[in-house]
Amino acid sequence: MAILSLTILFFNLTLTLMRNRDVPPYQSDTLALSLSQALKLALKKSPVALEASASQLQSGVSLGQGFSNILPTPVANLNSTRTELGTVWSGGITITQIVLEPSVYAGLVSAIVNCGYHSLDAREKTARLIYDVTTDYLNLLKAQLLLNAAQKALTQAEENKKLTGERFRLGQATRLDLLRSEAFFSQAQLNLLSAEKAVVSARANLCASAGIEPDKTVWANEELTEPAEIAIADPDSLLRLMEESNPSVRMAKKLRTVAGINLAASFSRVLPGISLYRSYEYSDTAIPRSYRHWQERINRTDGIRLTFPIVDIKSLLLDIGDALTGSRRARAALARARLQLYAAAQTAILNYQEAKQRCEQAGHNLQLNRELFDLAATQHRLGALSLADLLEVEVGLVQAEASYLSALCDTYIQAAQIGYLLGKSGLK
């Protein structure tokens, strides 16, 4: 009996493990976020935020690398040589200080410029992250609003279908009315499926851009009451402001500056390089046991080292040609960045103005639908309007509300685009 009990217990345990094998290791939970909370979460967890942090760190590293080349450079060595007379220990320390080396000082200036470049790169990544998260969040909010409208429309269509079916059974509705209500209900079901798919897709995009775990069911709970306001009294002044503050254009300017420095450095290679050095050479049959022992057995040498790069004329010409190519490429990149910014800025301004107009028209349409619904409800109470017609008017009101809120979200999306072109990297 004991063996049989153990066998049954083992069999039940095996079945339990087999059933649980397909269960996911985590359960989804809901995460309701406002836009500000989503942005703060993205700035902490998004991979793009980590890349921006790395760019900021690279800014300091580039600056340190530039200064390290002009600081004194110590080189130390210690050797052991076995000869017929015994073991000989030798070594030394050489400290070199560059006095005049055009390429080194050009590298220092380039490092300072590269420091600013990487800092701008971090700012551009942060601004892009804020724009992407804002856009994905508002797209999720729009999808949720459309889903709510689709659910309400389906509920109304179902009630209308039931009512029409009952009236058809009583002989108060025609076959055409019945088919019309069924077609309306079928279309509402299709709209709901599309709305549910849009919510899932928008949620996935937001999780990807904000660095949110995919097992989270994210909901946007932001409440927008007024359209986004941006003062665009003079589009030309806004374009000039964008060119001055846009990180991509400023980065292209930095690269052009570095290319100019490299070009000047390539021509300056015809100048001799001058450096001072001091060396301490040690040689003895025993390894140094103390600092005093070292001091007693070293030879100190001070000198000046001259280098003449012009002797290697082939390398000099190739470096000049490479620097010229880089300079032309940098100028072309800057011109391209300016043209792309100008095109994107004009499109963003026009899109924002269009979104504002659409929002105003959608608001006016919503007001008309509300008045229409109030009038239809009054006529229905008086018996002058059927319930089916009233339900259709109510569905139109729900769709008008969704259209207005969708247009309202679009104004903030377009405003975020302008903010990105301006290089805004803050949460406001």
Q: Which amino acid is at 262?
A: N
pLDDT tens for 232-257 read 666 777 777 887 778 888 888 888 88
Where are the extended beta strands (E) located within 142-227?
A: 216-220
User: Which tokens sit at 291?
Assistant: 């600092």
Q: Which amino acid is at 136?
A: D
Scanning the structure block, which residue is given the tokens 């570095």?
258
Mean pLDDT of the chain: 78
CB 260 within 8 A of CB 113: no
CA atoms within 13 A on the CB side of 140: 28
CB 138 within 8 A of CB 409: yes
The pLDDT of residue 68 is above 80: no
Q: How far apart are CA 197 and CA 144, in angstroms?
A: 11
Q: How far apart are CA 274 and CA 308, in angstroms?
A: 9
Structure confidence at residue 371 (pLDDT): 93
- Torsion on CA atoms 13, 18, 22, 25, rounded to nearest 10: 30
Task: Give the three-class secondary structure for 21.
Answer: coil
User: Which tokens sit at 76?
Assistant: 């130390």
User: Which tokens sit at 1?
Assistant: 């009996």
DSSP 272: P
pLDDT tens for 131-157 read 899 899 999 998 998 898 888 888 888
The residue-averaged pLDDT of 17-33 equals 51
Q: Map out the domains of the chain with their CATH numbers.
A: 26-421 (1.20.1600.10)
The residue-averaged pLDDT of 1-24 equals 36
Structure confidence at residue 294 (pLDDT): 66
Classify strands 86-100 and 273-284 as parallel, antiparallel or unpaired.
antiparallel
The residue-averaged pLDDT of 264-285 equals 66
pLDDT tens for 333-348 read 888 888 888 888 888 8
Scanning the structure block, which residue is given the tokens 């300079």?
327
User: Which tokens sit at 289?
Assistant: 């046991």
User: Which tokens sit at 56?
Assistant: 């900021």
* Helix segments in 26-101, DSSP class H: 35-45, 47-68
DSSP 271: S
Strand order in the sheet with 273-284: 73-83, 86-100, 273-284, 298-307
Q: Give 3-state DSSP helix, strand, coil % of the chain, rounded to 5.
A: 70, 15, 15
Q: How many percent of the chain have pLDDT more than 90?
A: 10
What separation, in Å, do the N-terminal and C-terminal C-alpha atoms of the chain show?
73
Cα-only R_g, the chain: 37
pTM of this structure:
0.72
User: Which tokens sit at 246?
Assistant: 């846009």
Q: How many percent of the chain have pLDDT more than 70?
A: 74
Classify strands 73-83 and 273-284 as parallel, antiparallel or unpaired.
unpaired
pLDDT tens for 205-229 read 999 988 888 777 888 888 878 888 8
Q: Which residues contact 421 (CB under 8 A, 6 or more apart)?
A: 242, 246, 341, 344, 345, 348
